[in-house]
Structure 1
């Protein structure tokens, strides 16, 4: 910083040397001391003015700039500087220093995003508008099994661009996705579906084995026990034998019903919607249901008539089981349209659902003799119609299922 004061120092030294040489020359020429002193006094005034002017123009702005830079470096707000009081060159210098002291916030954010992207467990690549590779994380190199050099073209890396970026190495068991940013950059990523699919399959197998084991044990254990008791006797009494055979028949029929329900769930055909008479379907169900049905609203709906009949039959059976101890039990069915949606509300006045969270969990049931398949079948039928089904308990008691599915175009 001392080198910045060099022009000031040179001017002071040169002017002082000039004055001393001039006075010495005058003394040699015979000037009196009074005359020399008078001349020195006269000359010092403009020199002092010159030195002060140079101090204001050079040294003072430099000192203020140094103090200002130190305050920026230390994040101190005690020193306030008015740049308008400085020369134009210093104003430009301080403006550049101030900009350097405030780095763009996106610089740190970009670095943080890059570090996070490198740690992602799935492949992530970024291409520019010309499909030139700008970024690739470590998971991408591992999944594609090839070196990913920045600046390479997507086609050179094995990607196809129609209709979106895809790589043949990630077709099986992968879900590929491409997102185009506003600046034209393409962000490609792929998700490995093998692990979640395996976990889901394993969980479904556990549930299936648990339910089948429960059903088989509940049916076969009493049958085996009754048969063993009957065979342990020397002579088979006819009355006891008939009683045992009737119980074995009942247990066998219950087991066959469970198997038929599960087979029906697995073999549900694709829905074939058509305009059907909802009131006619409910009148047919009333003949086989032990709970009164009350219908309000629209009489026609667009759905597969056979699957709709099965859906309402399962809901009516569930409502009848829930309201079996109520003398005034009733199942209300309301149908109406809202925009492009058909809505079917099925409600009863029973005790409500015991566990709403697991209502549609496969094979989950709170009933002593339930299988957890009936509502699964209802949900599958609704999904076949591209709809949704929601369950809730009513404030005044009872349960309600709301089914929505779209109208035809």
Structure 2
């Protein structure tokens, strides 16, 4: 039985003894029958009206409280109960409900702020974050993950880890180095943890590109080393050049044997020339440490490659131009990058054509440069600035090209191909 009916029924049972007592008193008083009936009717009618008013009052109060609690349950925290400033239990109940609504409204506002902050962090952070349920279906993916796999968030959440080639993440340990089957490739640091969402167990994966971080630290270390070496060497070369020129002038005016004077002048000339060459060599390395920020503009990739093919005296075969492909890049820096790579490919096999192929995958434009030379002999030192296998080389070409590509948010990789040759892949973001 409803609570308000229980209260009104209890009041009715309390009224019955009073009504019987009234009837007994009227009977004993031996009043006129019509007067007795009138009094009994008025008392009964008053009791019925009071009963109905009490029942309606209780019902209205419970409906009001029910509406407020229902609104709170639906997330509407604007309704408030109107209470009197008294110490009655009813007023205290209404005040506590209003206080509950204020608390829930404040907590909801704070929760919304936290959600917006978390969403902004997930959007801006350059780390791939995804989650999956117990069946391996992806339930969460941030923009870095969608860019990595070149899929929208709605489409990505319709896949599972097996379909994306990420099933090995389930068995991998947290803080391990893993590889991905996406076009990005490379080595990735994996952080894995468990959490619950709506009562369901979820697995969280955070993937950080280790190669980019290591490459940045490596470049920073080489820049610092080259900066120190260039400063120290240039400080020594300047007096050497000056002293050798002075000694040459003195020997020219000195009274010496002709043959001795020629040998002395030749030696001093050689010292000066070698010092100047070393000075130029060091300055070339300094240019690597002072690469300016790229000035981005929209360029057509096909036009850039066609212009390079017409400019360079090499046999270049562009197999796929993707004429509609455009990207944001610094044209002068990108041209210098491809000139260095094409020059390396030509030097590896001077009498054979260089093949260029362009394709788009996983949110990146990929440009491959394939030569038919002997391949890479020492892959461990490819991007070491002071290392070269070419006679008269400086070891700057690949280092500078890699820095240019990374400054554009891309990646440069090299690999040997079968049966011979080397393939360089430049991956630039769409």
TM-score (norm 1): 0.42
For the pair shown, the structure with the greater C-alpha radius of gyration is 1
TM-score (norm 2): 0.41
